[in-house]
Amino acid sequence: MFRIPVLLAICCVARLAAADSEWWSNASQHYIFVSNQPGRAYLKTVQRELEKAHRCYGIIFPMGNYRSEKGKVRIFATRQEYLDCVGKQYAWSGGLWNPNKNELSISPLDPKFPADIRRRQLHDTLFHEGFHQFVFTALSSRTPSPWFNEGCAQALESMDLEGRYWRIELAPWRINNARKHIGGIQLQKLLDMDYKEFYGSNVDANYSRAHSLMFYLLVGAPAEKRESYSEIPRKYYMAMHNHKDPVTATKLAFTGIDLSTLSKELVAFWSNDDRVAKASDNWTLKK
Ligand SMILES: [Zn+2]
């Protein structure tokens, strides 16, 4: 999720302007950070994870010369300040990408959770929201289609470096969700959805189906050498660069693909424990 109403974003800026003197900044290769936290340790952790995520996205979706500016990241000192900025409707979140402000907001960690859970939550949040920021910047301030944007962000959030390779870990709840929703998938409808409909009354099913589709295209199809499917994410990304229109890019990415056959393939993949496990185990991406 990454949307924030414009009005709220403006209020947020005004509120922060009053406390300008407390804010300090720090830059890394691809990001500029601002924070009002007294210490630097948390910012350094966020910085390391986001740069790591950026390297992973850049391998899957090469940036070439597209990128011209560093991504902005704001790290709040208190949970309340974060919530005042993002709004009550995002009270469940630990970080949020806001394309209206061109800024990624990050909450401090909740001390009531054990350290390993906090680390995992932070990693997943930064890899998820970081993808929204990465692709928006790489596409010259354009938001791609929800099936691609939310699908990739969810599929990529569990990636991490193990030595020289990227690995992926699929949480059991993701598999359960995929099985719950994949049977009712109407692929054309999902591909045609705008954000209003995607975040509407069937939001949970839409998230799950977008994840199921993108995990298969990014991880399952390459592991099983199904090139016609594994080429789709890169085709969409390049078409967004060339045509700058999500509807055209979706059409071009799926040219020559029979959606009814792909739907059956998705149902078969997610119903088969061995295929799901092997795809995750065999998938690697070199650093
Ligand atoms: Zn998201």
94 and 155 in a common domain = no
109 and 13 in a common domain = yes
DSSP string, 168-190: E---HHHHHHHHHHGGG--HHHH
Please state the pTM of the whole predicted model.
Answer: 0.90
111 and 163 in a common domain = no
Give residue 232 CA to ligand 1 midpoint distance, Å.
20
Give residue 198 CA to ligand 1 midpoint distance, Å.
11
217 and 167 in a common domain = yes
Give residue 257 CA to ligand 1 midpoint distance, Å.
26
- Tell me the per-residue pLDDT of 70-128, one tens digit each, with 9 for 90 and over: 999 999 999 999 999 999 999 999 999 999 999 999 999 988 889 999 999 999 999 99
Q: Do the domain assignments include residue 106?
A: yes
**Distance between CA atoms of 230 and 223, rounded to whole angstroms?**
9
Give residue 89 CA to ligand 1 midpoint distance, Å.
14
Side by side, the strands of the sheet bearing 159-162 are: 159-162, 165-168, 285-286
Question: How many Cβ atoms are within 10 Å of 198's Cβ, its own excluded?
Answer: 19
| Number of structural domains found in the chain | 2
Give residue 15 CA to ligand 1 midpoint distance, Å.
25
Residue 69 lies in domain? 6-138
- Tell me the per-residue pLDDT of 31-83, one tens digit each, with 9 for 90 and over: 999 999 999 999 999 999 999 999 999 999 987 766 668 999 999 999 999 99
Query: Could you tell me if 212 and 266 are in contact, meaning their C-beta atoms sit under 8 angstroms apart?
Result: yes
Boundary-marking domain end, from 138, 163, 197: 138
238 and 151 in a common domain = yes
Give residue 123 CA to ligand 1 midpoint distance, Å.
14
Query: Could you tell me if 218 and 60 are in contact, meaning their C-beta atoms sit under 8 angstroms apart?
Result: yes
Give residue 1 CA to ligand 1 midpoint distance, Å.
3
